[in-house]
A = this chain, B = another copy of it.
C-alpha cells in the first residue's frame, strides 16, 4: 500500500525534486546476492541519458547503498539507497497553477491547498528509485537465468515544434519457470498490469495478443501443446489463469504524451483565474526511451516477488 510495492520483495521509496535526495528501502532481497554496482549504474544511465526524444538536462544519478550489503553481497537485511538531487531547485516551480493533465489538481483535492508543495513528489524523478530496486531484482533473477528486456514499438508523430508524443513499449520476461503467480487476484498478469499502470503517464496494459485477442476466434487463439509439453503458439503471452506457463511473458504498455508542451496552453490557477502556461524546455518529448528501464524494473520486481511467493528462491 501507499509508497510500497511488492509483497515479499518490496520497495518503499521517498523523495521530491525540491529536496536533497531521493531513495528507497528494498526489503526481502534474499541473502547472498552479488550487488553488481556497475550493472546498477548502467541501468541508471539508461534512464538518465539523453536521446533525440529526451531532455539534455543532466541527471547524474550516483546511487549510494547505505545498508543491507556486506562485502559486495546482500545480507538479507533491508537494503537502503540514496541518490542526490544534484539538479534540485529548492524553490517550488509553477506552484500557483494547475498544469494540464498533471497531478496538481488531484493533489489539491486530495491533500488540500496546504499541500501543493507535494507536487515535487509527483515527477518522473521518482522512477529513479524503481530502477535501482529493479536492477537489484534483475540480479536476483540472473541467478535463475531469467532475463528481462524491452523496446519501443511506436511513438506518435510530432505535429509541431515543442509538442510531445505518446508511445508503446513492449517488454519480455524470458525463462520464467512455469507455476509462478497466484490464481485470480494475485495473478502474474494482474500484478504486471498494476505495476505498469503505476508508472507515471501509463494508460494501458495488454499481455499476449491483448486487445487483438478481442478480435480473434478460439480456433485461432488457443495455445495447444506438443507431446513434449512445448507450446505451438504463445497467444496468451506466457500467463494462463494468472500463472506462468513457462513460455516468454510478453506484454505491451501504452504511455500518453508527456503533459508539458513547450508552447502556450490555457489553464487556471488555484483560485480559478485563467492563466496561459508554457512549459519549459527541460522536459522530454516522449517517455521513451527513458521509460524502458522503468518498465523492466517493475517487471523484474513482480517476477522476483512471484518466485519468492512460489518458494522458488530461498532466502
The yes or no answer to A79 lying at the interface (CB within 8 A) is yes
Chain A contributes a number of interface residues (CB within 8 A of B) equal to 147
- Among the 9-residue stretches A42-50, A142-150, A257-265, the one with 4 or more Cβ atoms under 8 Å from chain B is A257-265
Q: Contact check, A111 vs B261: say whether CB atoms are below 8 A apart.
A: no
Q: How far is the CB of A33 from chain B (nearest CB, A)?
A: 11
Q: Contact check, B78 vs A14: say whether CB atoms are below 8 A apart.
A: yes
With A111-B76, A243-B106 known to touch, is A156 a contact of B261 (CB < 8 Å)? no
Q: Contact check, A109 vs B179: say whether CB atoms are below 8 A apart.
A: yes
What residues on B are CB-neighbors of A194 within 8 Å? 185, 190-191, 193-194
With A205-B204, A227-B268 known to touch, is A156 a contact of B115 (CB < 8 Å)? no
Q: Contact check, B183 vs A187: say whether CB atoms are below 8 A apart.
A: no
The yes or no answer to A175 lying at the interface (CB within 8 A) is no
Q: How far is the CB of A125 from chain B (nearest CB, A)?
A: 11
Q: How far is the CB of A26 from chain B (nearest CB, A)?
A: 9
What residues on B are CB-neighbors of A216 within 8 Å? 156, 165-166, 256-257
Q: Contact check, B205 vs A80: say whether CB atoms are below 8 A apart.
A: no
Q: Contact check, A258 vs B218: say whether CB atoms are below 8 A apart.
A: yes
Q: How far is the CA of A189 from the CA of B156 in the complex (A)?
A: 23
Point out residues on A near B: beta carbons under 8 Å.
1-5, 7-8, 10, 12-16, 18-25, 27-28, 31-32, 66-68, 70-71, 73, 75-80, 82, 98, 100-103, 105-107, 109-112, 114-115, 117-118, 121-122, 126, 154, 156-160, 163-168, 178-180, 182-187, 189-198, 200, 202-211, 213-229, 235-237, 240-246, 254-261, 263, 265-268, 272-274, 309-311, 314-315
The 9 closest A-B pairs by CB, nearest first: A204-B206, A164-B218, A70-B117, A106-B243, A109-B178, A218-B257, A103-B241, A110-B179, A193-B193
